[in-house]
Copies of this chain bind each other. A is one copy, B any other.
């Protein structure tokens, strides 16, 4: 085999092992009988170890050989991809395979324990697992190395060029705007705040969601739609992309919101090039860019007045005709965009959402850096909830236990959610410059224009560029949070004209 063939085979194996882990993890969340958890953790751990071994023993040495070979047969585009691959993987190379396996096993078990603890609102059941995961994460950080603080090493696993200080600065910039906007909305008497919840039977919600998603590109030949307590999207291949949603019979906004969010992730996975297996062109650019896709579809489409005109006119007549007289597109959009602090992150409006992220960022940074103990975590959580959102969780299920991330060992993940929102707003502005009336088409039930723009400017590039470079190429400038601020201002002005006095 030539070097090129060997490299293709190693990258292909890496991709296929990754896909197998994806299926096993999806199955664990959605299908597996509960008693299978302990064994499943071992299966995933073993595959994670093989995945890591193949990376460090085959993929990376072959990439280095390719990059240093003088008579290389790789094209400049291939060389660029290999350089990106190397850059992204170098930290992971520093981790011993045994740690990777153990981490995967513990995280896999902890997710099951977390789900159980959450359902019984029993933090103490989850605490020993969380402690184990934090200890392993700190060990991971030591192997990875960092300049200023252990948390830095974990954050950079998700976004290579990001530092905790930068996240801190970013939040410092918008924190006051968010808090003041939230306050202004709370003080105003928003029309939707007293509206009855949009109650609908689970089976009807599912059918409605499936119809909406089908208009956007969901297709049973390529996609699945299932239920899980924590909605997620699993991209096994561009031809096998699975969404899960959560249904709250008391309020359809949960199902619809999670569906639009996960559909954004799904469209990205479906839009990535399929070949050559394992090369960066077939991969997502980063978690932040992935999140920009889900945020775009959840916020800029799903929360738009145009979308609610579409739902009102094309969807509701078949599912809930009585809502036609109880609501208008505007009052539905107002309800979907009710800006009010909420205990649950994924049920939060677009303003208080980022205060949720700020809280998690501060807490996980303190946990990893050794400044906060697990036993003090619930109290710290509740204190910050009071400080940023003016709420106190009545139970840990509605507080510190609400998210799956820490049980998965995903410390450093939360900040990418805020980055994703900011990218999304900047992309939406670029789409609007190119198609000033794209929301008119959305109101008619056509989602082609934004999808085509994202396919061309984001999806098609895979991970051949960094998040930053992709953003600059697609929008003409580096990431800036001002598009998000402008988007929030416009939204408040459009939906709550004259009712809310925004900060200057």
Instruction: Identify the A interface with B (CB < 8 A).
Output: 12-13, 16-17, 19-20, 23-24, 27, 31-36, 38-40, 42-43, 46-47, 50, 220-224, 236-237, 239-240, 242, 274, 277
Q: Which residues of B contact A42 (CB under 8 A)?
A: 12, 16, 277
For this complex, 18 residue pairs linking A to B, each with C-beta atoms less than 8 Å apart, are A12-B42, A12-B46, A16-B42, A17-B46, A17-B47, A19-B39, A20-B20, A20-B46, A23-B27, A23-B43, A24-B24, A33-B239, A35-B221, A36-B222, A39-B240, A39-B274, A42-B277, A50-B50
- Report the bound CA distance from A425 to B237 in whole Å: 47
Asked whether, in the complex, the Cβ of B46 is within 8 Å of the Cβ of A13, the reply is yes
Closest residue to A21 on the B side, CB-wise? B20
Contact A39 B224 (CB under 8 A): no
Contact indicator B277/A33 (Cβ below 8 Å): no
Q: Report if A38-B239 is in contact (Cβ < 8 Å); known contacts: A24-B20, A43-B16.
A: yes
Residue in B closest to A46 when the chains form the complex, CB atoms? B16
Chain B: CB-nearest residue to A14: B46
Which 3 pairs from chain A and chain B are nearest by CB?
A36-B240, A39-B237, A35-B239
The CA of A17 and the CA of B47, in the complex, are separated in Å by 8
Q: How many copies does the complex hold?
A: 2
Report the separation of the CA atoms of residues A183 and B107 in the bound assembly, to the nearest whole angstrom: 62
Assembly CA distance A182 to B309 (angstroms): 68
Q: In the docked arrangement, what's the CA distance between A35 and B24, Å?
A: 19
Contact B19 A43 (CB under 8 A): yes
Chain B residue at minimum C-beta to C-beta distance from A224: B33
Q: What chain B residues lie within 8 Å of A13 (beta carbons)?
A: 46
List residues of chain B with CB within 8 A of the CB of A40. 236-237, 240
Please indicate the chain B residues that have their CB under 8 angstroms from the CB of A223 in the complex. 33
Is the Cβ of B33 less than 8 Å from the Cβ of A222? yes
Closest Cβ neighbor of A26 among chain B residues? B27
For the A-B complex with A33-B224, A36-B240, A42-B277 known, give 14 more contacts whose Cβ atoms are closer than 8 Å: A12-B46, A16-B42, A17-B47, A19-B39, A19-B43, A23-B27, A27-B27, A31-B31, A35-B221, A35-B222, A36-B237, A38-B239, A40-B237, A50-B50
* Nearest neighbor of A35 in chain B, beta-carbon distance: B239
Closest approach, in angstroms, between the C-beta of A224 and any C-beta of chain B? 6
B236 x A39 contact (CB < 8 A):
yes
Whether A31 pairs with B222 at a CB distance below 8 angstroms is no
Contact assessment for B43 and A224 in the assembled complex, using a CB-CB cutoff below 8 Å? no
CA of A32 to CA of B19 in the docked complex: distance in angstroms? 13
A221 to B32, CA, bound (A): 9
